[in-house]
Amino acid sequence: MTSDTMTLNLRPNPELASQTTQLVSLAEFYIVTTPEESVEASEFLSRIQKLRRWIDGIYKDAKTPLTTAKRTLDAQQKLLLDPLADAEQLVMKRIVAFKTQQHALRQEKELAALKEAQADALAEQRRQAERIRLIARTHPSLTASVALHAQADMIEQAPTLVIPKPVIMDATLSQGVQQRTNYSAKVENLRDLIMGVAAQIMVSEYQLDNSTRSFLVENFLPTPQCSLSLIEASASQLNTLARALRQDLNIPGVILEKNVSLVAK
């Protein structure tokens, strides 16, 4: 595979660098203690903001071809990768389904092999006991005959030693492919998660009477795994509410912050 490269002129603009350096160095000398100084500082602020907008415009124009090229490359990449990802998932699902079927078949064969081994072991015990009884019936000594019959009984009653034959299945993956199991979690009910975390905080951090504790445990199933780290506040939703409600924002655990800025016309 080969790839084409694009060479760009990425050297900084000396004029922009000089103006930026000049304004940044002058900003240190502006002190606002009187209305006149405030007006003068606001005029300087206007120069800074205008230069920022000018630089933003220059670099936006310079980056437009790159942005367009990136969108084109992203689209081309998506056209190539998406079908490959679909094909990968299709084949992977079929292999996993077959391996699951093979696993169930292996378990069935192992169970059958175990039952066969148990039957063979039991049959062998019975054969040994019968041979001993045959000797006992023909033995001239009564004492020895009784002992042999007892030995035969012990053999029949002894637990069977089972060694099933190993079940060997055909390989289902090529040498370059390994099976891995990845685990992930998905929130199925956000309300249950929130209530579980809240209940865990209550039962672990607060003194509760037995009835309240039992109610929380029985209804919300808190566990030490229900930590506050599982829940993240939505900054975008909170900021939307703050902009809409302003001083009327009233949410436990949330404070209203005001950031004042000046914008030159």
pLDDT digits (tens, 9 = 90+) for 194-212: 999 999 999 999 999 999 9
State how far the Cα of 196 lies from the Cα of 228, in Å rounded to an integer.
10
- pLDDT confidence of residue 3: 46
- pLDDT confidence of residue 1: 39
DSSP code of 231? -
pTM: 0.59
Residues 242, 258 contacting (CB under 8 angstroms): no
Cα torsion angle, 238, 239, 243, 249, sign: positive
- pLDDT confidence of residue 2: 43
Residues 45, 52 contacting (CB under 8 angstroms): no
- pLDDT confidence of residue 234: 93
- pLDDT confidence of residue 72: 95
- pLDDT confidence of residue 210: 93
State how far the Cα of 149 lies from the Cα of 134, in Å rounded to an integer.
9
- pLDDT confidence of residue 4: 52
Q: Which residues in the chain land under pLDDT 50?
A: 1-3, 6
- What would the two tokens of residue 118 be? 């148990």
In a 13 Å sphere around the CA of 31, the CA atoms on its Cβ side amount to: 2
- pLDDT confidence of residue 179: 85
Name the phi and psi angles at 158, rounded to 5: -70, 145
State how far the Cα of 57 lies from the Cα of 50, in Å rounded to an integer.
10
Radius of gyration of the chain (CA): 41
- pLDDT confidence of residue 241: 95
